[in-house]
Chains A and B, each alone.
Chain A
Amino acid sequence: MTALEKAAAGERLTSDEALALYTEAPTQVLGRLADAARARRHPDRVVTYIIDRNVNYTNVCVARCNFCAFYRQVGSADGYVLGFDEIFSKIDETIGVGGGQILLQGGHNPDLPITWYEDLFGAVKARYPDFKLHALSPPEVMHISRMAQLPVPTVIKRLIAAGLDSIPGGGAEILVDRVRKLLHCDGKATADEWLGVMREAHRAGLRTTATMMYGTVETLDERLEHMFRLRDLQDQTGGFTAFIAWSFQPDHTELGLEHGITLEATGVDYLRTLAVARLVLDNFDNLQSSWVTQGGKVGQLSLLFGANDMGSVMIEENVVRAAGAAYCMDELEIVRNIEDAGFIARRRNMHYDVLGDPIFRERDVPRMLSLARARADGDTSVPAELVNYAARSRAGKDARNQRPELTIEE
């Protein structure tokens, strides 16, 4: 039986078979195979999306990944930490357009101890009991674990107790340490560490997503190795809800500016990669379209190449936007794209439970045709509550001491 025949029959692929399809199958043949695999799992032709907000609580980061245009070094004048009130305000706006969750991620800020996260989560849950916190990718969990000198299971347990609902799959990049070393991201989490955090999260009862950032220094074999490692863990835990692949956005990144990786992976490469992921990840229910990096047009076409989810309505996104991607679609536009491709649009939550029809058909919601930003340019104010948390860096201590009414109790 050939790889093509096995894929067409819905049988599990080996890595050699996947590579043969990835490298040799015509693009639309891959699309047809992936579309059939999607249809086997989602025969109702429902395509889901979620109304949530991508909130980046800080851009201060010690990881210094060379593919990232978002981070600022400790002490940078452009560094920020959002205050609790700013985050509440963003939650209010999200609820206003029908959202029930924020995706909360940020840099590895040495001046935010685990208690800051616990207090934030607790405050959110106290104020918005039903609102969901999809927060802290595995490298952030690793960072908190190292800072607090607590094992990962303990960190996860404490964060769950504070209000964490699920973990996003960010920071996976390519789960091959050769690649991670070249991207300077092995320090924030090795491949095993990333998978280990997810394993512990699944054991603790959390559902998580899985991602892949491709188009830097990896080979096709390494993209596949990434997928197969995810498939293996999913076989063990069943904890992943979805897989999301996106291409490296080179603008303003060290990798782009200094290492000559200046061209983004192409749209056809994205569709082929997505299709192969649908075939390899035969134990994942959901594959998201990354229209944020591919644009609405290719994002919509990804529904023919294995995707069954259009991801999030975009209220705010800062990380890939910093690196050049600047696409924006509100709920109306996402639904139009889903239906135009012949699918049925349904709102979902992070667990992919269908919540209902598009909210704009139930009540008026404001159009969102431009992205909100993490913080206005030039705003260097420090949130008042930060004084309650001991800073570790010199710059963090200095910033907090600039508020004369506040004193830091060591």
Chain B
Amino acid sequence: MTERHEDTKTHGVVLGSMMTGSASIEPLLERLLGGETLSASEQAALFESRDLLSLGMAADQLRRRRHGAQVTFVRVADVALESAAAGEVTWEGSPGEIRITGTPGDLAQAIAAVSAVVAAAGDVPVTAFSLGDIELVAGDVTAAGAWLKALKQAGLSAVAEAPVDGLRSPDALIEAAAAVGLPIARLTVDRAAQADRPALVARVAALVQAHPAIDVFAPLPRTTGGLTPSTGYEDVHMVALARLLVPVHHIQVDWQRYGPKLAQVALTFGADDVDGVSPRDQVTEGRRRSPLEEIRRNILAASGEPAERKALFSRRS
């Protein structure tokens, strides 16, 4: 099969004459691609635009400038906090990251869980918890800072996530983590109604600019489901706008939470990293969904070059 040339820019002359959506966003996209920053009203115009293909083409260009064809992915083993704190630490397969899930009741439980998993993990990095949960349970930023220091000392590689819409004092918390040398693996969004998305993306952009060490943003809401789940259009729209408007290195999608098909399509709309790939080599349906084979195949089919990584983007050989 002939190799696909995914750089959409070269096709712009032909396609420019057949705009079917809101042609008014083209100048805005040109300015973004030229490195300019858009005003709040101009950004709002992009959010209101229905021209998803134009947004996607621009987002894809930006992604390729940063990453070329490379698409990274990480196989993650989830370990429940309660089990880990009780010393019951098991996982299947070959993860590149072990992630402790759940909200700790207190610092002692958190340290017990981290210590147990780190002891079992060997050279696999261990991440844990939401920065929002730590802030909530610790009570304030100062206490949260003490937690973060203790967790670092227990061997934690990174805080698993920082939900932008779940932090009372985001700047102070991020600084507290940085002060003890504990990275934050990704900025996330807990819930994001359509109407809230422009403001939320602006907040993320501001945080990333203020804290350059944060280089991953997972823009799709972590809380999903219900009778009215998000649509594919909403998801891909959010991914494209995150790439266009947030000056962060990695835009991440979650393989398990959003499913292989949507996650793969998101890779053509600005995402460059896939989180949450199952660490198991075999699942219930035999080779039907061998995760490693499936993720590589999906990345290749999206014209990407798959590169497996560990937590915090160290390359996995």
Contacts and interface: CB of A to CB of B under 8 A. Distances in A.
Contacts of B2: 20, 23-24
Interface residues of B, number: 52
Interface string B244-272: 00000000000000111110110111000
Contacts of A341: 50, 52, 231, 233
B192 interface: no
Contacts of A295: 232, 259, 261-262
B36 interface: no
Contact of A8 (B17, B228, B234): B17
A263 B288 contact: yes
B265 A29 contact: no
A127 interface: no
A256 B288 contact: yes
Determine the interface band of chain A, counting residues with CB < 8 A from chain B.
Answer: 35 or more
Contacts of A150: none
A28 B56 contact: yes
A27 B285 contact: no
Contacts of A267: 260-262, 264-265, 298
B258 to A, nearest CB: 8
Contacts of B301: 266, 268-269
A262 B291 CA distance: 12
B232 A299 contact: yes
The residue among A35, A256, A299 with the most chain B CB atoms within 10 A of its own CB is A35
Interface string B178-202: 0000000000000000000000000
Contact of A300 (B15, B233, B269): B233
A268 B60 CA distance: 14
A297 B286 contact: no
A268 B302 contact: yes
A304 interface: yes
A186 interface: no
Interface string B213-226: 00000000000000
A254 to B, nearest CB: 13
A304 to B, nearest CB: 6
SS class of chain B's interface: helix, strand, loop or mixed?
helix
B288 A262 contact: yes
A297 B261 contact: yes
Contacts of B175: none
B305 interface: no
A298 B231 contact: no
A213 B261 CA distance: 18
Contacts of A23: 1-2, 4
B51 to A, nearest CB: 9
What is the predominant secondary structure among interface residues of chain A facing chain B? helix
A173 interface: no
A162 to B, nearest CB: 41
A298 B6 contact: no
Given A8-B15, A35-B20, A340-B231, A27 B1 contact: no
A409 B233 CA distance: 59
A271 interface: yes
A269 B4 CA distance: 13
B265 A5 contact: no
Interface in B12-27: 14-15, 17-18, 20
Given A251-B285, A297-B231, A29 B262 contact: no
A298 B1 contact: no
Interface in A283-299: 294-299
Contacts of A8: 14-15, 17-18
Contact of A26 (B7, B233, B288): B7
Interface in A239-295: 250-251, 256-257, 260, 262-263, 266-271, 294-295
Contacts of B50: 341-342
Contacts of A29: 8, 11, 15, 57
A344 interface: no
A36 B259 CA distance: 29
A338 to B, nearest CB: 10
A358 interface: no
B11 A268 contact: no
A301 B53 contact: no
Nearest to B300: A266
Interface in A275-331: 294-301, 304, 324
Given A8-B18, A263-B289, A340-B231, 18 more contacts: A4-B14, A23-B2, A24-B4, A26-B6, A26-B7, A28-B53, A28-B57, A29-B11, A36-B20, A251-B288, A257-B286, A266-B297, A266-B302, A267-B262, A294-B261, A296-B229, A298-B232, A304-B233
Please name the 9 residue pairs, one residue from A and one from B, whose CB atoms are nearest each other, closest first: A297-B232, A267-B261, A342-B50, A23-B2, A262-B287, A266-B301, A300-B232, A36-B18, A26-B6
